[in-house]
Structure 1
């Protein structure tokens, strides 16, 4: 009926469920339709083409007209002659009376009762006041269900948010730990590099002092020879250390396993020095090639490279040796002569 349908739609029910309820209850009124919607609210709406409309005023139950069934119905007092006046369905176990088979089936599913019978007992229709009360109860029940669902969704959202925040904190902690480890590693590498640089500088300084002392002793001996005086004794020992012997610490320091070598290359003709960092396994020729790339006046095949401390001019054969083999690691100053 149009009035019942409009009322149900105004209550906010889904139109498909309203159509299903009205068709399944045979348009017997607002109350049966509401009962149907309430009982089937958790079920999917079926294809309405397969739902047969029940005639109004009749309970949806087929009656077998066999004599044996008729006798049984007569004994129950629900069969008068050959006519069945079934107005309701009664549960034989608990005595509850239902308007139609849909309500009876719902009761059977919930209670587990499986014994039902037709009854001539007529369920009185609800008054307007009772309809309003049932409608209000239905609305309260639906509101309670929505509120409960909202609370559950809020709890689930809160739990998900807590998991998300925890995952974010864990990820940030991992990133911070990685940064700290990288910083410590870099600081340790710089510390080792400074120590090795200090050792190399100390070796160079010792070489300079040895050279000065050797030159002073040589000048003193030459002066004694010119003046006809006895030769002064060499300080320290009878065999003064030669520059090569002093240079050994530098070679020992530079010969360690340094992956890179920092070079400063100065031109004998003056000008701004050039700096570069090469692999310790790079050859001296690569140094000449680097300088040739900076200055077009430099010929890689004729340029001469030398070292002041210890004083050494590298031969052409040295150009094929690595910086590590030549004792130039971890850093060195070279003089280039075009």
Structure 2
């Protein structure tokens, strides 16, 4: 049986599968072993010990439990030369012939057939040509099976690749949409900030111009008094009040932030900051105290040149919005 095993191993079959085929067929030759390998190619190799035990329990077909009686009868001439001797087992349902009970049992398990009978047909061993042809047929069948499997795997890989690419495209589109939305949102925020900043600058500029006019009018009145000239009519300040009207209208709008320019009455560069419109005026005093160590937020006085107003301590608890300082204002701080 070593020759059959070497032949099967030479064909590239797994050693465990070859052992299984030889034991399952009772070492009855190359043909049954090849049939077994081909029919069970997709099944896992079982415990070979169990297979050996099952094969060992199979009883040979041609063993007669009355062998001694048969021999006695034959010696007496009771059994003639035309007596029937079973040489194989035949499946009554499909007509296949098997050399031994092990192969017949295997066929029964595989096909579900259960009708068998003894047959005088003898299964001749394969010739070298038949063995070679059987091997070629087996190789061709296995090659065809591998080819079909390769085609199926290629199709499956193609589908998986298409799905992967589609998923990648979808994810890329989602990321691009998110980037676009973020860019639009950022651009809108910058645009809004730019508009509010321009409005705040315009309001501050208007306030500065109004302060200049007020100082010029005051200087003109003082000069006229010194020179004994008629004092200019205070109605000249009307344009300043009219110029402040747009600023107050702007301040009445609901702005979330207020831009402030704070000047010290003692001189020096102004301080600029931006606070929430809902913040109390007290935060302005606290901001100045943080900038100047010599200033006390509890005693500092805040005022506005135009319109002229001095904020009281009660005003310190009011919001910038309620005091009409939005979106921007110029304050004078007196330590």
TM-score after normalising by structure 2: 0.73
Query: How many corresponding residue pairs?
Result: 314
Q: Any conservation in 2 of the 1:285–1:320 contact (CA below 8 Å)?
A: yes
Across the aligned residues of Structure 1 and Structure 2, the Cα RMSD in angstroms comes to 4.2
Q: Structure 1: any 5+ residue segments left out of the alignment? A: 66-79
1:122 and 2:127 correspond: no
SS in 2 for 1:183: helix
Task: From the superposition, tell whether residues 156 and 45 of structure 1 become closer, same or farther in structure 2 (CA, over 3 Å).
Answer: same
1:278 counterpart (266, 269, 275): 275
1:75-90 equivalences under 5 Å are 85-90=85-90
2:286 counterpart (281, 285, 289): 289
1:96-175 equivalences under 5 Å are 96-99=96-99, 100-101=103-104, 104-105=107-108, 108=111, 115-175=115-175
CA distance in 1 between counterparts of 2:39 and 2:330 reads 95
User: Equivalent residue for 1:73?
Assistant: none
Deviation at 1:175, TM superposition (A): 1.9
TM-score after normalising by structure 1: 0.73
Q: Any conservation in 2 of the 1:18–1:37 contact (CA below 8 Å)?
A: yes
CA distance in 1 between counterparts of 2:144 and 2:2 reads 29
CA distance in 2 between counterparts of 1:184 and 1:251 reads 32
Task: From the superposition, tell whether residues 227 and 53 of structure 1 become closer, same or farther in structure 2 (CA, over 3 Å).
Answer: closer
User: Equivalent residue for 1:37?
Assistant: 37
Q: Deviations over 1:28-76 (max 9, x none)?
A: 1222111111111122323333324647xx98669998xxxxxxxxxxx
User: Equivalent residue for 2:71?
Assistant: none
SS in 2 for 1:316: coil
Q: Any conservation in 1 of the 2:108–2:114 contact (CA below 8 Å)?
A: no
Deviation at 1:126, TM superposition (A): 1.4
1:162-201 equivalences under 5 Å are 162-201=162-201
SS in 1 for 2:314: helix
1:1-338 equivalences under 5 Å are 1-51=1-51, 52=53, 54=55, 85-99=85-99, 100-101=103-104, 104-105=107-108, 108=111, 115-206=115-206, 219=220, 226-227=228-229, 240=238, 243=241, 247-269=244-266, 274-307=271-304, 310-338=307-335
Task: From the superposition, tell whether residues 61 and 320 of structure 1 become closer, same or farther in structure 2 (CA, over 3 Å).
Answer: farther
Q: Any conservation in 1 of the 2:16–2:45 contact (CA below 8 Å)?
A: yes
Q: Any conservation in 1 of the 2:264–2:270 contact (CA below 8 Å)?
A: yes
CA distance in 2 between counterparts of 1:216 and 1:127 reads 131
